[in-house]
Structures are given as C-alpha cells and as structure tokens.
Amino acid sequence: DIVMTQTPLSLSVTPGQPASISCKSSQSLLHSDGKTYLYWYLQKPGQSPQLLIYEVSNRFSGVPDRFSGSGSGTDFTLKISRVEAEDVGVYYCMQSIQLPAITFGQGTRLEIK
Amino acid sequence: QVTLKESGPVLVKPTETLTLTCTVSGFSLSNARMGVSWIRQPPGKALEWLAHIFSNDEKSYSTSLKSRLTISKDTSKSQVVLTMTNMDPVDTATYYCARILVDSNYVDYWGQGTLVTVSS
C-alpha cells in the first residue's frame, strides 16, 4: 500500500495569512498515462470530506482561487493564499494511482487564531 | 441530484457481524464510469478505505481487512452492502459510502456517514 505522510498535523493561522500543507507519498503517483493521481480534500467540522484539488493542481468546481496545489512525483503541497474562517477543518491528501485502493494522509487540522 | 445514504446498526457487540447498506440515487450502479467504495473514520482519526465494487461486480478489498469484509450490490435496488465480521472495539468509526469516478480516479460524492460503536 502507498503511504501518504502529511506535515504539519496541525496549523493555527491568523485570518488573511497564508497556510501551506505538505504531503509525501511512499512511491511516485505519476501514472504511465501521464496523470499524477494526487488529490486534496477538506473535511469541515461535522461534514463529509469535499474535494478541493484534483490531479495535483486543478481546482474542483466552486473551489475559491485562494486554494492552489503543486508538486510532482512524491512531493506535493496545498497552499491557501489568505486563510478565511470558513477554511477551518481537516485537510487530507489522497492518492488513487492504485485505484480503487486509495489511501489518505493522516490529516492536517487547520484552526483560526 | 446524486446522493448516497448509509444505514445500519449504531451499536454492535464484539465478535458480531456488521452489515451496512448504502442506498444511492441520481446514478445507476450499472454505470461503467462509476463505482462505490466504503471508507471509515475512527473518532478523531484519519480516513481508511475498506472496499470497492465496480459496475461489472468486480470487487476490491483493503489488504489488512480483506479476510473480514464482503461487498456486494443490488443494482435493481440501487444498494451496496458491506459486511464486516468479528467486530472489535477498534472498529468503532463513522462508515461512509462514496462514489468514485473510475475514469477520473477520485471520490466525487460522499454519504453523510453512519457512526458504528462496538461495545458490549
């Protein structure tokens, strides 16, 4: 199984300030089809996860442009340019190169200062 | 409108078998572009994928839990069923069913989840 490792595990950010979360996979997520199967989800308190970013850097429909994803191979980053109160929750990276055996990172809890 | 809804017992005893049902609407379980997975989340912990069923009835299981899991579907009823044998308190978790787009490789819709507690 591919292991996904996120850092940090928690973040406390002042509104309007940036935030960054790292995700490393135990093996490359670059598929022979040229796509990299790395995704970012946000689980808001009391809710099911919601997709933010697909294939490393593509924002899902309706996701604000303050969210951006980058990376390649085994190292990936989610950035929030200006944190807002509604961004509170737990962020997960997920790999699906071995679909359907998807795996998630441990999660990064974002709180507002 | 796509929805998935989990149902099943809220409390099971150790050693018992858990049976959960996911009822879907807004899409067909025979659609080759889609499949349904079960994913769980112990309280305060991370998400863990358990099992998946494709439209052609092909099944896949978590390596660590394979011996305890069975997934099946009834396309006419729009239901996916997960059974997990020999339940233990460490299996206490919120269990989600989720739709996966097979050609896009991601979960696009999740159920609301159902909390299952394992206790005597």
Tens-digit pLDDT profile for residues B20-56: 999 999 999 999 999 999 999 999 899 999 999 999 9
Specify the amino acid at residue B28.
S
d(C-alpha B80, C-alpha A46), whole Å:
24
Size of interface A-B (CB pairs under 8 A): 56
Q: For B81-104, how does the pLDDT look when each residue is reduced to its tens digit (9 = 90+)? A: 999 999 999 999 999 999 999 888
Rounded to a whole number of angstroms, the distance from the CA of A14 to the nearest CA of chain B is 24
For residues B23 and B111, the answer to whether their CB atoms sit within 8 Å is no
Minimum-distance CB partner of A48 among B60, B63, B113: B113
Question: Any CB–CB contact under 8 A between B99 and chain A?
Answer: no
User: Which of B39, B105, B109, B112 to probe the A interface (max A CBs under 10 A)?
Assistant: B105
The amino acid that residue A96 corresponds to is S
